[in-house]
A and B are shown apart, each in its own frame.
Chain A
Amino acid sequence: MLASVTKPVHNEQLVFKGLKQGLTLFVPENDCFAHWLEVLDCQLDQAKGFFQGGAILVELGERQLTPGELAGLKRVLAKYRIRVEGFNPVLRKKNNPRTEKRPPASSGVLLVKGTVRNGQRLENEGDIVVKGDVNPGSEIVATGDIIVLGALRGIAHAGAGGNVKAEIIAFTLAPVQLRIAHLISRAPEGREEWQGPEIAYIKGEKIVVERL
């Protein structure tokens, strides 16, 4: 646990480290995620009580999680009453020079691959990018932007917490509801599903959708 962190993610072991943004768990990029979940469970079990009730950040480096793996991570942490406050604080600093224009967020982009299914919920303090479809009945909540490389058919809430500059982009934008900051909109009845990328953002006091 004392290893110094020069790269965003240590390659051999799980590391907890205090960053400016908060206590951060570094998950190595190699090996399967399930393996690291077991290790995490084990380590937290040994350090019983130490982290209890706290909130942490999780640094995944280049790793992309599936919605199922994400649920697994939350389940393990919930066992020790730990909450995930956000993802990828290190990567954010490197890749996101626009930070100063936005309200401060504690973390960066959460990359998810695979279909987000009915009943699943993704949250992140920062942006969320989904490589796959977002199905009806699912919810995606980000304090930053939401980008779906697939069809968005569920509920998406970008700029949660009040960022009116947040945007929602999808290859096929056919959501049950769109929410940006404090505004909510739904697609007009009988709107033909446009097959092509679209972007939703706030213009005036309304959410507008435009073809990209």
Chain B
Amino acid sequence: MAGRVIVVTSGKGGVGKTTTVANIGTGLALRQKKVAMIDADIGLRNLDVVMGLENRIIYDLVDVAEKTCRSVHKALIKDKRLSNLCLLPAAQTRNKDAISPEQMVTIIDELKEEFDYVLVDCPAGIERGFENAVAAATEAIVVTTPEVSAVRDADRIIGLLQDREIYEPVLVLNRLRPDMVRRGDMMDVDDINDILAIKLLGIVPDDEEIIISTNKGEPAVLNSQSKAGEAFRNIVRRLEGEEVPFLPVNGEPGLFGRFLKLLNGK
């Protein structure tokens, strides 16, 4: 059976697409799934850095499309921690026009025969890079932060996805700050749901750990102490069809949270 092809997109830049791909990819691989991550952000690639795999790149997406390398497998980089996780990096010295949506479809059609999941890291914007990234996808994860501008762009993206026959994208709400929501200074989940009205896949709290893990090249899902990591582990479970309750976001730690705090001695 062919694997699921999921594009992770947002419209706006800097809301956490790449971090989301790295964490969901790693999280799925931890559950013994075969996962391929594709960085479609040609010219501004980041996923390799976030995964800590930058120094292993030999061939990239454009090489595969132009058939500079013999097969797509030549360009796939195995993760250094998990053997069932692969990355197809973007080219850094080219731009988005170096590849066409049709070429993306060809490459992904080949990958999905072999992998359970193909995750596509979409660049910001709605131009060629977006067209390339969504061309072969049948599902989409829309990432947004609780800011008006990010939510507007997410809304635009959902409309564009629906034009491309991806009718039920799901939402990851990233970088939520429970303390600010409690004070009424930040949009909360209901405000965002009012506008976007799509299924919520997960809420990721703002967490310093993410910055540290991104710089170190180690996705936060691997860190059992990280709150964001826990949120991503839940997202992965929901993606696999499990019903997982949402972590409390109102700032009051739930029973489980208090228990954890006790255990950690914080």
Segment from B36-44, B66-74, B151-159, B232-240 that makes contact with A: B151-159
Count of A-B residue pairs with CB < 8 Å: 38
Which of A66, A120, A151 neighbours the largest number of chain B CB atoms within 10 Å of its CB?
Answer: A120
A residues 8-38 in Cβ contact with B at 8 Å? 34
Which residues of chain B are within 8 angstroms of A117 by Cβ–Cβ distance? 155-156, 158-159, 162
Determine if B197 and A68 form an interchain contact, defined as CB atoms under 8 angstroms apart: no
Per-residue CB contact flags for chain A residues 62-99 toward chain B (1 = under 8 Å, else 0) read 00001110011000000000000000000000000000
Q: How far is the CA of A180 from the CA of B205 in the complex (A)?
A: 44
Q: How far is the CA of A120 from the CA of B162 in the complex (A)?
A: 11
Which residues of chain B are within 8 angstroms of A120 by Cβ–Cβ distance? 159
Which of A34, A67, A119, A120 neighbours the largest number of chain B CB atoms within 10 Å of its CB?
Answer: A119
Determine if B163 and A136 form an interchain contact, defined as CB atoms under 8 angstroms apart: no
In the complex, B107 has a CB within 8 A of chain A: no
With A118-B152, A118-B153: A133-B159 Cβ-Cβ less than 8 Å: no
Determine if B195 and A68 form an interchain contact, defined as CB atoms under 8 angstroms apart: no
In the complex, A137 has a CB within 8 A of chain B: yes
In the complex, B222 has a CB within 8 A of chain A: no
Q: How far is the CA of A198 from the CA of B256 in the complex (A)?
A: 45
Closest to A153 in B: B195
Q: How far is the CA of A72 from the CA of B153 in the complex (A)?
A: 21
In the complex, A115 has a CB within 8 A of chain B: yes
Q: How far is the CA of A149 from the CA of B159 in the complex (A)?
A: 19
Determine if A66 and B162 form an interchain contact, defined as CB atoms under 8 angstroms apart: yes
CB distance from B131 to the nearest CB of A (A): 14
Which residues of chain B are within 8 angstroms of A34 by Cβ–Cβ distance? 165
Q: How far is the CA of A193 from the CA of B184 in the complex (A)?
A: 17
CB distance from B158 to the nearest CB of A (A): 6
Per-residue CB contact flags for chain B residues 88-119 toward chain A (1 = under 8 Å, else 0) read 00000000000000000000000000000000
Q: How far is the CA of A67 from the CA of B160 in the complex (A)?
A: 10
Which residues of chain B are within 8 angstroms of A115 by Cβ–Cβ distance? 197
Main secondary structure of the interface of A (DSSP, over half): loop
In the complex, A107 has a CB within 8 A of chain B: no
In the complex, A124 has a CB within 8 A of chain B: no
Q: How far is the CA of A110 from the CA of B152 in the complex (A)?
A: 25
Determine if A67 and B197 form an interchain contact, defined as CB atoms under 8 angstroms apart: no
Which residues of chain A are within 8 angstroms of B163 by Cβ–Cβ distance? 68, 71-72
A residues 144-166 in Cβ contact with B at 8 Å? 151, 153
Which residues of chain B are within 8 angstroms of A153 by Cβ–Cβ distance? 195
CB distance from B115 to the nearest CB of A (A): 28
Which residues of chain A are within 8 angstroms of B152 by Cβ–Cβ distance? 118, 136-137
Closest to A133 in B: B197
Per-residue CB contact flags for chain B residues 248-265 toward chain A (1 = under 8 Å, else 0) read 000000000000000000
In the complex, A135 has a CB within 8 A of chain B: yes
Closest to B148 in A: A136
Determine if B156 and A118 form an interchain contact, defined as CB atoms under 8 angstroms apart: yes
Closest to A75 in B: B163
Closest to A136 in B: B152
CB distance from B147 to the nearest CB of A (A): 13
Q: How far is the CA of A115 from the CA of B155 in the complex (A)?
A: 10
Q: How far is the CA of A34 from the CA of B162 in the complex (A)?
A: 13
Determine if A135 and B162 form an interchain contact, defined as CB atoms under 8 angstroms apart: no
- B residues engaging A (CB < 8 A)? 152-153, 155-156, 158-160, 162-163, 165, 167, 194-195, 197
Given contacts A68-B159, A119-B159, 4 further A-B contacts (CB under 8 A): A117-B155, A118-B153, A136-B152, A137-B155
